[in-house]
């Protein structure tokens, strides 16, 4: 597409004013009578060695700190063990579920490799275990204490909390 100097200057002014490509496409059609596809507008700007201004993303909202006594934080999220010290913060738990009975379930923001979803559970006796659900629906539970077996009541509470947490996430 060949533009004369005044048309090139007009397009450059639109870029300087912060117009997006789609807005420039509409202005080319309405003001200059040039009907171009979005891709053609991109090529045109490339030929003119112009780059649209990048819009800075909005600052993320400040994290919400729960008031003491209102929201219990699971012990898995409250204290890090030496195994978790080098885990990136993106993999830390996002969802925490507490139900009377002392069992708390957390869901990892990023699932472990080979798992559809994963997380941690703290049982009523304070023992911590990691859980994962694979693509076949098989639940795996690995305790940090060798040979630990939670009580039947804790297992039932864990399964109920896990089902509730996964339902909230759309599983």
Over residues 64-102, the pLDDT tens digits come to: 655 554 444 443 343 444 444 444 433 334 334 444 458
DSSP string for 61-73:
PPPPPPPTTTSPP
Query: What pLDDT score was predicted for residue 62?
Result: 62
pTM score of the predicted model = 0.42
Over residues 91-143, the pLDDT tens digits come to: 334 334 444 458 899 999 888 888 999 999 998 888 899 999 888 889 888 88
Question: At 15, which helix (H) or strand (E)?
Answer: helix 5-16
The span from the CA of 134 to the CA of 114, in Å, is 7
Query: What pLDDT score was predicted for residue 63?
Result: 64
Q: How do the domains of the chain map onto residue ranges?
A: 5-47, 75-168
Q: What mean pLDDT is reported for the chain? A: 76
Whether 55 has a pLDDT exceeding 70, the answer reads: no
Query: What pLDDT score was predicted for residue 61?
Result: 65
Contact 132, 111 (CB under 8 A): yes
Highest mean pLDDT among 31-35, 49-53, 60-64: 31-35
- What are φ and ψ of residue 130, in 5° steps? -105, 140
């Amino acid at each position: 597409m060949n533009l004369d100097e005044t048309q090139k200057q007009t397009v450059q002014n639109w870029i300087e004013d912060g117009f997006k490509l789609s807005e420039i496409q509409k202005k080319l059609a309405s003001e200059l009578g040039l009907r171009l596809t979005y891709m053609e507008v991109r090529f045109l700007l490339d030929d003119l060695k112009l780059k649209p201004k990048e819009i800075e993303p909005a600052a993320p909202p400040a994290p919400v700190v729960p008031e003491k006594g209102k929201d219990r934080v699971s012990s898995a999220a409250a204290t890090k063990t030496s195994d978790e010290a080098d885990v990136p913060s993106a993999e830390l738990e996002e969802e925490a579920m507490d139900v009377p009975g002392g069992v708390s379930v957390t869901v990892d923001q990023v699932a472990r490799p080979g798992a559809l979803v994963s997380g941690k559970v703290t049982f009523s006796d304070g023992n911590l275990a990691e859980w994962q659900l694979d693509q076949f629906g098989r639940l795996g539970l690995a305790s940090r204490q060798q040979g630990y077996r939670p009580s039947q009541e804790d297992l039932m509470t864990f399964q109920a909390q896990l089902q509730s947490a996964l339902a909230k996430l759309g599983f």
